[in-house]
Amino acid sequence: METKHSNLKNKVAVITGGGGVLCGSMAKKLANQGMKVAVLNRTLQKAQAVSNEIVENGGEAIAISCDVTDRSSVEEADRIVMEKFGQVNVLINGAGGNHPKGSTTNEVFRKEDQLDNEAVSFFDLTTEGFDYVFQLNMIGSLIPSQIFSKRMLENQGTIINISSMSAPSPMTKVPAYSAAKAAINNFTQWLAVHFAGTGIRVNAIAPGFFLTEQNRKLLTNEDGSYTPRSQKIIDHTPMERLGKPEDLHGTVLWLIDEEYSQFVTGICVPVDGGFMAYSGV
């Protein structure tokens, strides 16, 4: 039987990137627990799809178009949330992603890469690519945290940032993304200490390797089989599979329910099937 977190009922969760696979699943789960959910996404259509499903299943949700790197856009989202729901109790900073100009084609550098016009080597990475990734992941967590945490000062609350396995141990090919997620871990700890006296708790979740729309082409072939990179991941995951969106639900509920985690702040919880625990031998 599913555990009901009754003290979450009628509380309000704001989820950025809520139109995506993982955060959309979180949104639906929180709504199932009786929470009112504001689904924020840069593409309104994706947020609307999640919101509509919640409402169709008897929950309460709204969809809001929001660019988390634009303060005025987040402020407008805050205005809508307060007008509709009147409070904010939980913020999940789920908006994030990568950029081709912040990624290399090959895992390790070889001199011949410089002669390959199709390959992106370390020397081809651009500051524009890094800036895009840092803006989306780091600044895109900073701005919503600043704006929505003000709503938590009177009634306490919880912020959950989304980190990555690439933060403590950077993945090959994605230096910008790895560095940005490492910044998320550091920011989570800093903000947890900064807010400790207010009753606002700040934690992070580091998903292992989950199949999403952003990485589908990287991890699967057109026929649905695993790519060599995906197989390498599974070979280094003791539970021998990719994560499923529902694998994150228990950790999310634990971190936002004060009955279970009222003394937990400043941590990053890996949900990775044992990936970080395995040395490879």
Reported as a single tens digit per residue, the pLDDT across 64-84 is 999 999 999 999 999 999 999
Token pair listed for 195: 């807010």
Confirm whether 180 is domain-assigned. yes
Contacts (Cβ under 8 Å, ≥6 apart) of 184 = 137, 138, 141, 161, 162, 163, 164, 167, 204
Confirm whether 244 is domain-assigned. yes
Nearest 5°: CA angle at 175, between 132 and 144?
40
Mapping DSSP to helix (H, G, I), strand (E, B) and coil, where does residue 165 land? coil
Contacts (Cβ under 8 Å, ≥6 apart) of 242 = 208, 209, 210, 211, 219, 230, 233, 234
Residue pair 21/212 in contact (Cβ under 8 Å)? The answer is yes
Token pair listed for 267: 């941590």
Specify the pLDDT at position 3. 62
Band of pLDDT at residue 2, cut at 50, 70 and 90: low
Report the domain count for the chain.
Answer: 1
Count of positions (residues) in the chain: 281
DSSP class of 263: T
Mean pLDDT over 30-59 rounds to 98
**Of residues 59, 13, 63, the one with CA closest to residue 42:** 63
| pLDDT per position as a tens digit, 188-203 | 999 999 999 999 999 9
Task: Look at 14-23, 37-46, 253-262, 272-281 and tell me which has the smallest mean pLDDT.
Answer: 272-281
The CATH number that applies at residue 141 is 3.40.50.720
Mean pLDDT over 212-230 rounds to 80
Instruction: Report the share of the chain in percent with pLDDT over 90.
Output: 85
**Of residues 97, 98, 104, 96, the one with CA closest to residue 125:** 104
Mean pLDDT over all residues of the chain?
94
Confirm whether 27 is domain-assigned. yes
Specify the pLDDT at position 229. 85
Mapping DSSP to helix (H, G, I), strand (E, B) and coil, where does residue 93 land? strand
Specify the pLDDT at position 125. 96
Distinct helix (H) and strand (E) counts, the chain: 10, 7
Mean pLDDT over 168-172 rounds to 93
Residue 238 to residue 255: CA distance in whole angstroms: 25
What Å distances lie between residue 225 and 172, 190, 234, 240, CA to CA? 21, 41, 13, 15
Domain limits for position 37 = 7-277
Residue 234 to residue 47: CA distance in whole angstroms: 31
Confirm whether 194 is domain-assigned. yes
179-215 burial, b at 16+ Cβ within 10 Å, e below that, comes to bbbbbbbebbbebbeebeeeebbbbbbbbbbbbbeeb
DSSP-assigned states of every residue in 171-184: PTT-HHHHHHHHHH
Specify the pLDDT at position 280. 87
Q: Which residue has the higher pLDDT, 216 or 187?
A: 187
The catalytic residues are: 177
Taking the CA atoms of residue 86, residue 26, residue 53 and residue 99 in that order, the dihedral angle to the nearest 10 degrees is 100
Confirm whether 1 is domain-assigned. no
| pLDDT per position as a tens digit, 104-153 | 999 999 988 887 888 999 999 999 999 999 999 999 999 999 999 999 99
Q: Which residue has the higher pLDDT, 112 or 260?
A: 260
Sign of torsion over alpha carbons 109, 111, 112, 118: positive
